[in-house]
Structure 1
Amino acid sequence: MNDDISQSAGTERHRTRTYIRRVLSWCNSLGIMVAFKGIWTKDFWRAVSAEYLATLFFTLLGLGSTINWSAGQEKPPPADLVLISLCFGLSIATMVQCFGHISGGHINPAVTAAMVVTRKLSLAKAVFYVVAQCLGAITGAGILYLVTPAAVRGSFGVTAVNSNISVGHALVVELLITFELVFTVFATCDPKRTDLGGSASLAIGLAVTIGHLFAIPYTGASMNPARSFGPAVVTLNFQNHWAYWLGPILGGILAAGLYEYLYCPDPVIKKRLKQVFQKDPSGKYKEVETDDLAIKPGSIHNIDLEKAEKKDSPRDSTGEVLSSV
């Protein structure tokens, strides 16, 4: 009899596991369908092409400023760091001004990653954005490579770690300057602020300029994985290239997280999250019943931000919150 009970229990467990697997499989399929909902539209592809074109021109113009046309002289002058910094900063400001209302004007995988972390951009759309940015950077670098004489190309603007510092130090530098850039992006594009004035795109361009003025001697001042990826592909020079992806992305995510969840959290979301927990009579926190709350247990990551965005945020033609660089 005990054997029959054990066999029956084993069969029931097997059925339960099978059912759970089917439910999870269905949920995953549903999640993928939801994630990719809306990307097969004209507006979406217009936004993706805008990211491609903006990154193409940004890379082309920025790298162009690194070309030393006096390289053939007996004593060529050193690179003009102010010229390079201003060219990168003003280029990004111009591209944000031109394409910000179409795609949000990310023009930088680190900014796109920051938007995903703060739930301002879906992961599916972010993948297309990053691919477009990388292809745009390769195209821009390729065009510049073709039109530039070989005698003056030099290092062709490939970001390289200074021989006097370690790769770890370079990683920290890239993290810090990208943190400064992305924090500026979120601060100047915050729809909750009423004290903003002037041009957000110019402020972002100045942030890029400052980062370059500081970090060019250290790492070449990437602040943008796509900007480093373009010339690296064209010249096939990937030395320490991983640092120019990891550093900026970590810096961007850290800046976005601190701004959105610590320094300037959305009051609606903050109120909802506070309602998930409350103190019991003993003074300890315990999870409460949330039938009447906007957030259900286990679904904190599914907070509906679209209503808040529609209420407080300007949006581009793809439905994403307008943000830059």
Structure 2
Amino acid sequence: MASEFKKKMFWRAVVAEFLAMSLFIFISIGSALGFNFPVVGNKTATATQDNVKVSLAFGIAIATMAQSVGHISGAHLNPAVTLGLLLSCQISLFKAFMYIVAQCLGAVVATAILSGVTSSLPNNSLGLNALAEGINLGQGLGIEIIATFQLVLCVLATTDRRRNDISGSAPLAIGLSVALGHLLAIDYTGCGINPARSLGSALVARNFTNHWIFWVGPILGGASASLIYDFILAPRSSDLTDRMKVWTSGQVEEYELDGDDINTRVEMKPK
């Protein structure tokens, strides 16, 4: 932990998570709120097409932010993704904690700013996640687990540095996975696969009804994806001692150039 704490690159990465998360939340939730404005004569404003619009906004926004800061922080932008990479032994406990704090702060700040920008909207919930009518707690939790599972599985597969068959864009693939998760979950829960995003809306709107689902679901989905990928689909050969070193000190190659070369970070770059 001490070695990471002293590195400039580490703190640049934490700041990158905060800034990218803030932009992601403002753009994506701003898009979700936009269809509440009355548009006279707009014959395309159906519920299904609104879902597509919002899903694409979330997916494209995350892909753009991943491309922008992926070489600095890895562009996790989601506590569930950070947890998955932690369990996959790709980051340290200290980095995971600081990333999650930065992500939550970024989401809260962006939602608060968006609250002021959209203050004239009637019944403005700021993109609050909630169970749809007729969906019980178990069903909502299951949807969140599945939607997050496929996202974290995509992140682990596209950023696996052992692969040499990746010729496309990892940020784009992950963005499409985010869009897919939203297409699945919006009608059931509003899609809470990002706990920090859910926290921002709940905190600013002061509504924590069933909020636990949007933490427990993504955590279970991300953790199960990581364990299945790491121990069943693509097992790693590192032993427990090597894993403990990563959890306590981080990946060695991330800081081998004294933290001054941004190209040392490869978490979100295809090999």
Matched, 1:199 2:169: yes
Between the aligned partners of 2:109 and 2:154, the Cα distance in structure 1 is 28
Aligned counterparts of 1:167 and 1:75: Cα–Cα separation in 2: 38
Q: Residue 64 of structure 1 corresponds to which residue in structure 2?
A: 30
Contact conserved, 2:125 with 2:201, CA < 8 A, in 1?
no
Deviation at residue 182 of structure 1 after TM alignment: 0.4
The equivalences for 1:89-168 within 5 A come to 89-152=59-122, 154-168=124-138
CA distance in 2, matches of 1:189, 1:303: 21
5+ residue gaps, structure 2 = none
| Corresponding residue of 1:19 | none
Using the size of structure 2 for normalisation, the TM-score is: 0.86
Larger relative CO (CA 8 A, sep 6+): 1 or 2?
2
| CA apart distance, 1:218 | 0.6
SS in 2 for 1:48: helix
Q: Which amino acid aligns with 1:54?
A: A
Whichever residue aligns with residue 302 of structure 1, its letter is M
Is 1:213 aligned with 2:158?
no
Q: Which residue of 1 aligns with 2:267?
A: 322
Q: Percent identity?
A: 43
Is residue 2:12 matched to residue 1:46?
A: yes
Letter in structure 1 aligned against 2:179: T
Q: CA 1:308 to 1:59, structure 2 compared with 1: closer, same or farther past 3 Å?
A: closer
Q: How far apart, CA to CA, are the structure 2 residues paired with 1:144 and 1:65?
A: 11
Change in 2 beyond 3 A, CA 1:307/1:38: closer
Instruction: Give the superposition deviation at 1:318.
Output: 9.7
Checking the alignment, whether the CA contact within 8 Å between 1:108 and 1:133 is kept in structure 2 is: yes
Partner deviation per Cα, 1:60-89 (whole Å, 9 max, x = no partner): 111011114554589995551010000000
Hey, what does 1:181 align to over in structure 2?
151
Segment drifting more, 66-75 vs 170-179: 66-75
What is the DSSP-based 3-state SS (H/G/I as helix, E as strand, rest coil) of the residue aligned with 2:33?
A: coil
1:214-269 per-residue CA deviation (whole Å, 9 max, x = no partner) reads 11001111211011111111111111111100110111111011111111123x42
Q: Which runs of 5+ in 1 are unaligned?
A: 1-34, 274-294
The answer (yes or no) to whether the contact 2:21–2:107 under 8 Å persists in 1 is yes
Q: Give the distance between the partners of 1:229 and 1:255, measured in 2 at CA.
A: 22
- Are the counterparts in 2 of residues 72 and 151 from structure 1 also a CA contact under 8 Å? no
Instruction: Give TM-score scaled by structure 1 length.
Output: 0.72
Alignment match, 1:248: 218
Query: Based on CA coordinates, which of the two structures has the bigger radius of gyration?
Result: 1
**SS of equivalent residue, structure 1 residue 132:** helix
Q: CA deviation at 1:155?
A: 2.2
CA–CA separation in structure 2 for the residues paired with 1:61 and 1:176: 25
- The residue identity in structure 2 corresponding to 1:57 is L
**2:245 & 2:36 partners in 1: Cα distance?**
57
* Aligned alpha-carbon RMSD (Å): 2.8
Contact 2:192–2:214 (CA under 8 A) maintained in structure 1: yes
Aligned pairs for 1:73-92 (under 5 A) are: 79=47, 80-92=50-62
**SS of residue paired to 1:66:** helix
Q: Would you say the 8 A contact 1:181–1:207 is kept in 2?
A: yes
Say which SS state the counterpart of residue 38 (structure 1) adopts.
helix
Structure 1 pair 98–165 and aligned structure 2 pair: CA distance change class (3 A): same
Change (3 A) 1:203 1:171: same
Kept in 2, the 8 Å contact 1:43–1:318? The answer is: no
* CA distance in 2 between partners of 1:36 and 1:321 (Å): 22
Give me the whole-angstrom Cα distance separating, in 2, the residues matched to 1:62 and 1:203.
17
Q: C-alpha separation between the residues in 2 aligned to 1:81 and 1:192?
A: 36
Q: CA deviation at 1:302?
A: 3.3
What is the distance in 2 between the residues matched to 1:66 and 1:255?
28
Superposition deviation, residue 40 in structure 1:
3.0
C-alpha contact 1:111 1:252 (8 A) present in aligned 2: yes
Specify whether residues 152 and 67 from structure 1 end up closer, same or farther in structure 2 by C-alpha distance, changes over 3 A only. Answer: farther
